[in-house]
Structure 1
Amino acid sequence: MLIEDRLKELRDKINTKVPAGITISDVEFEGPELVIYTDDPKKFADQEDLIRVLARELRKRIVVRPNILEDPETAATKIKSVVPDNAGISDIFFDPDTGEVLIEAEKPGIVIGKNGATLRDITKSTCWTPKVVRTPPIESSTVKQVRQYLRSVKDERKTFLRTIGRRIHRDVIAKDQWVRVTTLGCCREVGRAAFLLTTPESRVLIDCGEKPGSTTSTPYLYVPEISPLSSLDAVVLTHAHLDHCALVPLLFKYGYDGPVYSTPPTRDLAAMLQLDYLDVVKKESGRQPYTSNEVKEYIKHSITLNYGSVTDIAPDIKLTFHNAGHILGSAIAHFHLGDGLYNIAFTGDFNYQKTRLFSPAVSTFPRLEALFMESTYGGANALQPAREDAEAKLYDIVTRTIERGGKVIIPAFAVGRSQEVMLALEEGMRKEKIPRVKVYLDGMIKEATAIHTTYPEYLNADLRNQIFRDGMNPFLAECFVQVDSSDLREKVIGGDPCVIVTTSGMLSGGPVMEYLYALAPDERNTLVFVGYQAEGTFGRRLQKGWREIPVGNRETMVVKLDIDTVDGFSGHSDRKQLMGFIQHIQPRPEKIFTIHGDENSTIDLASSIYKRFHIETRSPLNLETYRMV
C-alpha cells in the first residue's frame, strides 16, 4: 500500500472517532508520530481522552497540531495572563516541531491547575500544547543552546521528520523473516560500542563510541554489513558516555542522514561531551575526527523518547527505552521485531542497584528472547563493596590527606561519577565526617550537574524530594567551587588543602593532567580513582603501580603522591549484581551475549550464566554476525 493510501485510511478511521464539529484538515507521518492537523485545537482540548483512544485503536503515537500556531511572542503573553503569578514562570520555550510549549515554573502544579484545567485554557487561548517542568535549580547553557538551535532549524526539522516518518511507515515487502546482529566493537574490550541489528527490511546501529587510550579507537564502520551509512534506518544511543556516543557525529560526516534516538538527557549530555571531546582531541593530536558542524547535524537529527514509550523506528522494528540506572538518561534499548517475531535488548551500561542518583535498572520486559549485556565487572572476583563502605573509605582518605596538608585529586567522568562523589562529599561535610574544605570542580562537571537538575524526573525519588520538597539542594552547597580559568587553577594548585574533582576519569586528557603534573611530586597529596580504568590509559598504568609516566616527547612525570582506588562508586554492576540481574530478569531470555568487558570478564560471566541458569551464552568477538531467528 502506498503511504498516501495508508494516510487516507488512517484519516478515515480518525474521522469516524472524532465528534461532530471537529474538522481534520490533514494527517501526516512526522518521525515516529502520526500528526493530526486541525482548525479546532480548542475543541480537541475539551476531549480529554480522545487522543488516548485514537492512539490505542490506531496503534500509533498521536500528536494533535493546529494548522496555524499563535505567534510565540503573543502566545507567551497570553500564557502569562492565564497562569497565576505565584506559579513563578521562569522560561517559556516554543517547539514548532511538536506544537508544544515548554513552560518552566517554580510551582508546576499551579501551571497545570486543578485536573489540568489551566493547561486546557492555555491550549484554547494559544493553540499550543503546553508541557510543564520545574525550573531547574542550576541553569544549563547546553540545554538552552540545544533548544535555541532546534528552534533555528525548525523548517529543516519538519522536512526531515516527514521524510523519516514516511520511511518508518513504508510497507514491509521482504518475504523472508530473520534477525541478525553484527558486532562492530565493544566485544572482549571496553569501548567503541557499536552493534548492527539487521532484518530483511531494516538496519539499526546501536551506539557508536570511541575506545579510550587506544590507537584502534573507532568501531568497524567500513565493513560491508554497514555500508553505505546512508542505508541505515536509525541509530539508537543508549547513553552519553564517550565510549558509546563520541563518534555518532562522524556518521553524518560520512553520509548518514537519518534519526538518532535517545532519551532527552542523553541528547543534551552527548552534545556537551562530543564538543568537549573535540577540544581534547585537538589539543592532544591536532586532528579532529569531525567538527562542531557534525555535532549540530546530530542534534538536528535527534528524536527523543522517554522511558516506556513504545515507538516505531522502522517498518518492522519497535523501540522502547527502560531505565538502566547507569547515568542520567541511560537506557536499556528493547527492540520488538516483526509482528511478534523476536525481541532483543541491549543493556548499554547498567547498574542493578539503587544509588544516590538513580533507581536500579529495569529487569522486567514484555517479551525477551535475546540479551546483549555489559560485563565490565563480569570477572569472578570483580565484587564491589557496599556504597556505605566505599564512602567510609573515601572519607578516611580525604581526612588523612587534608590533615597532613595535602590535596585530594579525584578524576571522574563529568557525567555520573562526579555527581555521585559530589553528593557523598557534601553529606560528609554536612555531617562532619570529613573536614570542611573547598571542593573544586573542574572540566564539564558543573554543566553536567546543571543538566541533571534540568531533568529531575530521571533522578530517584529520594534525591528529587530532597531538592524540591525539602528545599535542600546538595549540588548548590557552599563547599563547591567551579574552576573556570587557568588563573584559578593555578591558585588551587598552590593553595590550601582541598579536594579537586576533575575530568577526565581515566586520565586520558583534560584538566586532571595539569593537576597531576603539578601535584604528583608531593607525597602529601593523594590521587583517588572512583571509576573503571580501561587498559592502555594513564589511569590503569598508575593503578598498576607505575611511578614514572611519559608526558611528552622527552618528559617524564615522577609520581610520589599516594594512589588509592575506592571501588563502589562505579555506575556499573559488579559480578554479584550482574548475576542477580539475570536471576530476576523477566522473562528469561533464550540467548545471552556478554560484551563491554575485557576478555576474561566476558568469558567468565558467559560461562557462569550458562552453568547456573542453563541459558545459551556467548562471549562474542568483534566482526562476528549472529543469526537469532
Structure 2
Amino acid sequence: MAIEDVLSDLKKKIEEKVPDGTTITSVEFEGPQLVVYTEDPKQFADNGHVVRNLAKALRTRIVVRPDPKVLVPPEEAIDKIKDTVPKDSVLSNFHFDPDVGEVVIEAEKPGLVIGKHGETLREITKKIGWTPKVVRTPPIKSRTVNNIREFMRTNHKERKDILKTVGRNIHRECTSKDKWVRVTSLGGCKEVGRSCFLLSTPESKVMIDCGVNVGSDDNMTPYLYLPEAQPFNQIDAVVLTHAHLDHQGLVPLLYKYGYEGPIYCTSPTRDMMTLLQLDYIDVAAKDGKRIPYESADVREGLKHTIALDFEEVTDIAPDIKLTFHNAGHIIGSAISHFHIGDGLHNVVITGDYKYGPTRLFDPAVNKFPRVETVITESTYGASSATQPSLKEAEKNLQQIVKKTIANNGIVLIPAFAVGRSQEVMIVLEDAIRKGIIDDIPVYLDGMIWEATAIHATYPEYLNNNLRKLIFQKGQNPFLAECFKPVDSNDLRKKIINDPHPCVILSTSGMMNAGPVMEYFKAFAPDPNNTLVFVGYQADGTLGRRIQKGWKEIPLSTRNGTDVVQMNMGVEVVDGFSGHSDRKQLMDFFKKMRPQPERVFTEHGDERSCIDLASSLHKKYRLETRALTNLETVRLV
C-alpha cells in the first residue's frame, strides 16, 4: 500500500474514534510519530483518554497539533499561559512555532507547568489552541543548551521536512518474505574505542554507535567501508548509547559522506554529543591533525537528531522498535533494546553501563519484556578487575584532601569533563557541607563547568536521591558556593600566582593536554601539593608515566622543552568508574530477566572480552562469544 493510502486509511480510523463534531484536517508521519492536525484541539484537551486510546488502537505514537487557523495570537497566548500556571513555576521564556502549532515554555519548575497527570497543559491548550511543550530553564547558563535550542528553532522548517521523510521511511510497507537478523561488528571488539555495530534485517539497517579511538592513529575509525555499511544512505537509523567520543565521535562523518537519516539518542546525549564533537575537531585542528569533518557536519547531524526518553517504545524502521533504558554510565547513557519483527527477535546492546548505584545515577536496568541476544561491554571483564566500593573511594578522596589542606597545599585532580568530574564534585560538596573538609574553593577548569551545566539542565536523568534533593528540597548540589568556574585566562593565572588551599578539577583526564598542564607545571615542584588520579591512565600518556614514578617530566613548550621537577604527592583513587567492574558484570547477567539465550562480549581488551564470555558460559550456561571486528553473526 502506498504511504498516501496508509495515511488516508489512518485518517478515516481516527475520525471514527474521536468525539462527534471533531474536525481532523490532516494526518502526517513526522519521525516516529503520527501527527494529527485538528481545528478542535479543545476536544482532545477535554478528553485526555482520546489520544491514549488512539495510540493503543493504531499501535503508534500520536501527537495532536492545532490547525493554524485556531491559534490565539502569541502575545495574548503568553498572558493566558501566565494566568493558568502557578507563579512558583517561574516562567522564563516562550517560543512559538506556527508551522507545527507548538509553543515551547521554558520554566524553572516544569512539573508545575505540566500539572498532575498533565492537567495544566490541557488547560493551556483549551485556552490558546497552541500545543504546549515544556523545557527546563537551565539553572546554570549553558552555552551548548542555549545554542542547540536556538538552532532547532531557527531550522524548524527544514527539520519538519526531515522528520516527514523519516516518518514515511519508517512506515513504509515491508516487502521481503525472508526472516533473518544479523549483526556486524565494525569496531570496538576486543578493544576499547571506535565502537560501531550494524543490525540488519531483510528490510532495514540500523547502526549502533559510531565512535573514534582518539588515542590511536592506526585504529582510529570503525570499518565504515565494509559492503554491509555502504552506501550510507541505505542505513535507516543511527542509535547512540551515550555521548563519549569512542561511541559517537564520527557520526558527523556519516553526513559528510551521504547519510541522510535520523540519529536517536536521549536529550542529554544530544547536547553532550554536540559539545564533545565540536571540542574534538577544535583540539585536532590546534594540534595540527587532519580533522575528519567540519562543524557544518555536526550541525547537519543535530538537525536529524530525534531525542527519546527512557522506557519510550519507538518505531525506527518498518520492522524494528527501539526502547532506551537507563545505563547508569554518564548522563543520558542508554541500554538499547531492539524488538525486531512481530516478536521475531529481541536484541539488547548495552553500550557502557554501571550496574551499581553512584552519586549521580541509579544502577543500569536489566529487566526487559523479552531478550534473546545481548551484546555487552567488557571493560573490566577480566577476573582480576575488581574495584573498591564507592564508599571506600569517597573516604579515600576525603582523607587525601583533608591531609593536603592541613599542609596548606593544593589538590590537583585531572578529570574527564563528563561523568567522573560530576561524581567527584558531588562527593566534595557533600563533604564540605557536612564539615568533613574545610570550606575551600573547588575550581573547575576546561569543559567541566559546561558539562556540569548540561547535568543541571536534566535532573530527571539523575538518581532518586538527587532528584528529591533538587525537586522537593530545592537544593541543587551543582549550584553550591564552593564551586568556582575558571572562565578566563586571568583567573587561571591568579590561581597559579596566588596559591592557596583549594581543589582544582581540570581537563584533560590523562594529562595529554588542556589547562591541567598549566596547573601541573606550577604546582608539581611543591611536596605539600597532591596530584590525585580518579580515572584510568592509558599507556603512553603523561598520567601513566607519573603513576610509574617519573620524577623529571619533560614538557614541550614554544621555546623547546622544559623539565618539571615532580615533588608533589601522587595518589590513585579507584572506585569512581562509570563502568561495571567484574563482579557487577557477572551480577548484571545473574539477575537479568528474562535470561538471554546468548551473550556477545565487546568493548574491552582481548583478555577481558574472552574472560567474561568464558565465565558467563561456565557459571550461567549461556551461549557466549567474544566478538571480533569485521565479523557478521546471524542471530535468527
Q: TM-score, length-normalised on structure 1?
A: 0.96
Query: What's the counterpart of residue 159 of structure 2?
Result: 157
Cα displacement (A) at 1:113: 4.8
Cα displacement (A) at 1:83: 2.9
Cα displacement (A) at 1:200: 1.3
Query: What's the counterpart of residue 587 of structure 1?
Result: 594
Query: What's the counterpart of residue 25 of structure 1?
Result: 25
Q: Is the alpha carbon distance of 1:391 and 1:128 closer, same or farther for their aligned partners in structure 2, counting shifts above 3 Å?
A: same
Q: Is 2:529 aligned against 1:525? A: yes
Query: What's the counterpart of residue 173 of structure 2?
Result: 171
| CA–CA distance in structure 1, aligned partners of residues 191 and 619 of structure 2 | 24
- SS for the counterpart of 1:27 is strand
Contact 1:213/1:535 (<8 A) preserved: no
Q: Is the alpha carbon distance of 1:99 and 1:592 closer, same or farther for their aligned partners in structure 2, counting shifts above 3 Å?
A: farther
Aligned pairs for 1:28-43 within 5 A: 28-43=28-43
Aligned pairs for 1:47-66 within 5 A: 47-66=47-66
- SS for the counterpart of 2:322 is strand
Contact 1:213/1:537 (<8 A) preserved: no
Deviates more, 1:329-338 or 1:446-455: 446-455
* Amino acid paired to 1:600: R
- SS for the counterpart of 1:295 is helix
Q: Is 2:268 aligned against 1:261? A: no
Contact 1:365/1:587 (<8 A) preserved: yes
Q: Is 2:612 aligned against 1:605? A: yes
* Amino acid paired to 1:507: M
Deviates more, 1:240-249 or 1:574-583: 240-249
- SS for the counterpart of 2:92 is strand
Q: Is 2:591 aligned against 1:567? A: no
Query: Deviations along 1:218-276, whole A, 9 cap, x unmatched?
Result: 21112222111111111001111111121111211111111000011110111111112
Q: Is 2:255 aligned against 1:252? A: yes
| CA–CA distance in structure 2, aligned partners of residues 169 and 280 of structure 1 | 41
Contact 1:96/1:154 (<8 A) preserved: no
Identify the match of residue 356 of structure 1 among 339, 350, 359.
359
Q: Is 2:116 aligned against 1:120? A: no
Query: What's the counterpart of residue 500 of structure 2?
Result: 496
* Amino acid paired to 1:341: L
Contact 1:209/1:247 (<8 A) preserved: yes
* Amino acid paired to 1:247: L
Contact 1:212/1:537 (<8 A) preserved: no
Contact 1:240/1:266 (<8 A) preserved: yes
Cα displacement (A) at 1:125: 2.4
Query: What's the counterpart of residue 194 of structure 1?
Result: 196
Q: Is the alpha carbon distance of 1:396 and 1:85 closer, same or farther for their aligned partners in structure 2, counting shifts above 3 Å?
A: closer
Cα displacement (A) at 1:144: 1.5
Cα displacement (A) at 1:284: 1.6
Aligned pairs for 1:80-91 within 5 A: 80-91=82-93
| CA–CA distance in structure 2, aligned partners of residues 579 and 273 of structure 1 | 31
Identify the match of residue 429 of structure 2 among 426, 439, 447.
426
| CA–CA distance in structure 2, aligned partners of residues 446 and 47 of structure 1 | 44
Query: What's the counterpart of residue 410 of structure 1?
Result: 413
| CA–CA distance in structure 1, aligned partners of residues 233 and 554 of structure 2 | 42
| CA–CA distance in structure 2, aligned partners of residues 338 and 536 of structure 1 | 46
Cα displacement (A) at 1:546: 4.5
* Amino acid paired to 1:38: T
Identify the match of residue 216 of structure 2 among 211, 214, 217.
214
Contact 1:280/1:510 (<8 A) preserved: no
Query: What's the counterpart of residue 513 of structure 1?
Result: 517
* Amino acid paired to 2:82: K
Query: What's the counterpart of residue 295 of structure 1?
Result: 298
Contact 1:417/1:571 (<8 A) preserved: yes
Query: What's the counterpart of residue 468 of structure 1?
Result: 471
Q: Is the alpha carbon distance of 1:541 and 1:337 closer, same or farther for their aligned partners in structure 2, counting shifts above 3 Å?
A: farther
Contact 1:181/1:195 (<8 A) preserved: yes
| CA–CA distance in structure 1, aligned partners of residues 334 and 300 of structure 2 | 22
Cα displacement (A) at 1:536: 4.3
| CA–CA distance in structure 1, aligned partners of residues 61 and 50 of structure 2 | 13
Identify the match of residue 624 of structure 1 among 596, 621, 631.
631
- SS for the counterpart of 1:355 is coil
Query: What's the counterpart of residue 441 of structure 1?
Result: 444
Query: Deviations along 1:164-221, whole A, 9 cap, x unmatched?
Result: 1111111111222111111111111111111111111111111111113211222111
| CA–CA distance in structure 2, aligned partners of residues 98 and 372 of structure 1 | 39
| CA–CA distance in structure 2, aligned partners of residues 607 and 550 of structure 1 | 43
| CA–CA distance in structure 1, aligned partners of residues 287 and 114 of structure 2 | 50
Query: What's the counterpart of residue 13 of structure 1?
Result: 13
Cα displacement (A) at 1:468: 2.8
Cα displacement (A) at 1:492: 1.7
Q: Is the alpha carbon distance of 1:184 and 1:107 closer, same or farther for their aligned partners in structure 2, counting shifts above 3 Å?
A: closer
Query: Deviations along 1:472-494, whole A, 9 cap, x unmatched?
Result: 22212221111111121122223
* Amino acid paired to 1:577: Q
- SS for the counterpart of 2:228 is helix
Contact 1:51/1:62 (<8 A) preserved: yes
Q: Which structure 1 segments of 5+ residues have no match? A: none
What percentage of aligned pairs have identical amino acids?
62
Query: What's the counterpart of residue 322 of structure 1?
Result: 325
Q: Is the alpha carbon distance of 1:97 and 1:208 closer, same or farther for their aligned partners in structure 2, counting shifts above 3 Å?
A: farther
| CA–CA distance in structure 1, aligned partners of residues 31 and 72 of structure 2 | 23
Contact 1:280/1:509 (<8 A) preserved: no
- SS for the counterpart of 1:44 is helix
- SS for the counterpart of 2:287 is helix
Contact 1:212/1:534 (<8 A) preserved: no
- Output the aligned Cα RMSD: 2.0
Q: Is the alpha carbon distance of 1:556 and 1:246 closer, same or farther for their aligned partners in structure 2, counting shifts above 3 Å?
A: farther
Identify the match of residue 139 of structure 2 among 137, 140, 164.
137
* Amino acid paired to 2:190: R
Contact 2:194/2:213 (<8 A) preserved: yes
Deviates more, 1:288-297 or 1:26-35: 288-297
Q: Is 2:602 aligned against 1:576? A: no
Aligned pairs for 1:368-383 within 5 A: 368-383=371-386
Query: What's the counterpart of residue 102 of structure 1?
Result: 104
Cα displacement (A) at 1:515: 2.4
Contact 1:96/1:151 (<8 A) preserved: no
Deviates more, 1:514-523 or 1:10-19: 514-523
| CA–CA distance in structure 2, aligned partners of residues 411 and 534 of structure 1 | 13
Deviates more, 1:51-60 or 1:94-103: 94-103
Q: Is the alpha carbon distance of 1:447 and 1:589 closer, same or farther for their aligned partners in structure 2, counting shifts above 3 Å?
A: same
| CA–CA distance in structure 1, aligned partners of residues 617 and 315 of structure 2 | 33
| CA–CA distance in structure 2, aligned partners of residues 192 and 63 of structure 1 | 37
| CA–CA distance in structure 2, aligned partners of residues 346 and 116 of structure 1 | 33
Cα displacement (A) at 1:577: 0.5
